[in-house]
Amino acid sequence: MRKRKDVMALAACCFVLVLGLIGLEWFKAEKSIKPYAIVTTFKGDPQRSRAFTWYSNHAQDEAIIQLMEGKTADSWNTDKVITFTGTTTTANGTKRFVHKVEATGLKPGTAYTYRVGSGEDKSWSDAAVFQTASIDQNDFTFINVADSQGVTEQDFELWGATLNKAFAIFPEAAFIVHNGDFTENPKDEQGWTYLFAKAKKWVMQVPLMPVTGNHDEVDGGAEPFISHFNVPDNGADGSIAGTTYSYDYGSVHFTMLNSESNIKEQTKWLKQDLESTDKPWTIVAVHQGPYGGNTYKKVKGWTELFDEFGVDLVLQGHNHEYSRSYPLRGGEIVGNGEDTVFNLEGTVYVVTNAAGQKFNEKKDDQFYHKVHFQNDKQMFAGIRINGDTLTFQAYDVDGNKLDEFMLKHETI
Ligand SMILES: [Fe+2]
């Protein structure tokens, strides 16, 4: 009798175990079909297009985006749905898949709700909303951050909290410029997964425009980094595609340089790029910049072009401390030293500390430093361009404003 009971108990245990294993496999299958690391970027004209990148663990996935006008989607089975397909490639040396799509032919100044997936029922992402740029976008704000550079999930929670505060203070921000060093080790895909997961709420809505850092391109290789972003393919000859590019948003021309390789060839491209823009404002973003916490002489040649073409602002990273230069021209301070720079007297160079867990000891003050400190707190900047005025405001993650200056394209 007892033996029979034991057998029945064992059978019940086995049954539960088998059910559990089936359930686990079902859960894993459900999970593996879901897109992750979803991020939107500008690729073509921000008024009429928007690009997207995401990862999946699902073999032979299609890359599909569905979108419709408006801020909600009651149903995805209507003739209002517009569908775009893109490319799927295997992520370098992993069992993951990279999906990239660009939605084109969109209406300016219009909100769209979208989702991405493979087309299979359970493959769709959550829905999110993005807004195309208006025709005359002469008043807008963007957020600047640098060096999120984490390893663990907790590290990237700090980056997520930084963006949460940035959008609490600048809810109108139209996009983010990230000055490089997204993760500590670009080959550790888990780091990228955390990076996008902790910022999901923001980077599914507003473009995250990347700059290449020395932790993004390592020993001449940048494949994991560039696999995560779908950016303009208009960069310098000899640069890894996706590590140098430029784009226009409203009245501003943005040039994204790569301080990690191909410096000489980029100088030629930079000249052509700055020569060819007719936008009233020019902002350059680079990881290791010429006038940060200290000077970086390798890219000093670029400053002559910034002078020649009247670049307004250079956003930098790498130093993990805060620094802001006086307006500089020809390597010298110009202007009256006040916090308003009139009529392109010189270029201002900024490093907005770091948006992650790592802070460096503050370097020695240099002659060009107007503001220079280490507060050991994640920071971000909100930059508003409104007609002839650019206003730069830097905050820490607690919401304290720590620096502010203005650039004006008008004489006193
Ligand atoms: Fe860094």
Domain-wise residue ranges, the chain: 36-131, 139-408
Mean pLDDT to the nearest integer, 119-147: 95
Distance CA 36, CA 25 (A): 19
Residue in the block written with tokens 């409203």: 250
How is domain 36-131 classified at the CATH fold level? Immunoglobulin-like (2.60.40)
92 HSE (CA, 13 A, CB side): 12
CA of 213 to the centre of ligand 1 (A): 7
CA of 11 to the centre of ligand 1 (A): 57
CA of 398 to the centre of ligand 1 (A): 21
Residue 70's CB: how many other CB atoms inside 10 A? 13
pLDDT, residue 332, reads 97
* Tokens linked to 6: 């034991």
CA of 18 to the centre of ligand 1 (A): 48
pLDDT grade, residue 94 (50/70/90)? Answer: confident
CA of 195 to the centre of ligand 1 (A): 15
Q: Are 254 and 270 in contact (CB under 8 A)?
A: no
* Residue-wise burial string across 197-213, b where 16 or more C-beta atoms lie within 10 A, e elsewhere: bbbbebbbbbbbbbbbb
Model confidence pLDDT, tens digit, residues 147-176: 999 999 999 999 999 999 999 999 999 999
CA of 113 to the centre of ligand 1 (A): 35
Residue in the block written with tokens 């270029």: 347
> At residue 121, does pLDDT exceed 70?
yes
CA of 218 to the centre of ligand 1 (A): 12
pLDDT, residue 92, reads 76
Which amino acid type is present at position 361?
E
pLDDT, residue 31, reads 55
CA of 355 to the centre of ligand 1 (A): 10
> At residue 68, does pLDDT exceed 90?
yes
* pTM for this model (two decimals): 0.93
CA of 252 to the centre of ligand 1 (A): 26
Model confidence pLDDT, tens digit, residues 344-356: 899 999 999 999 9
CA of 196 to the centre of ligand 1 (A): 18
- Higher local confidence (pLDDT), 58 or 297: 297
Distance CA 54, CA 160 (A): 18
The architecture of the domain spanning 139-408 is: 4-Layer Sandwich (3.60)
Average pLDDT of the chain is: 93
CA of 318 to the centre of ligand 1 (A): 4
Percent of the chain residues past pLDDT 90, beyond the cut: 85
> At residue 142, does pLDDT exceed 70?
yes
CA of 385 to the centre of ligand 1 (A): 27
CA of 334 to the centre of ligand 1 (A): 29
Q: Taking the alpha carbons of 276, 282, 283, 286 in that order, is the dihedral positive or negative?
A: positive
CA of 114 to the centre of ligand 1 (A): 33
Please tell me if the domain spanning 36-131 has the same topology as the one spanning 139-408: no
Model confidence pLDDT, tens digit, residues 223-268: 999 999 999 999 999 999 999 999 999 999 999 999 999 999 999 9
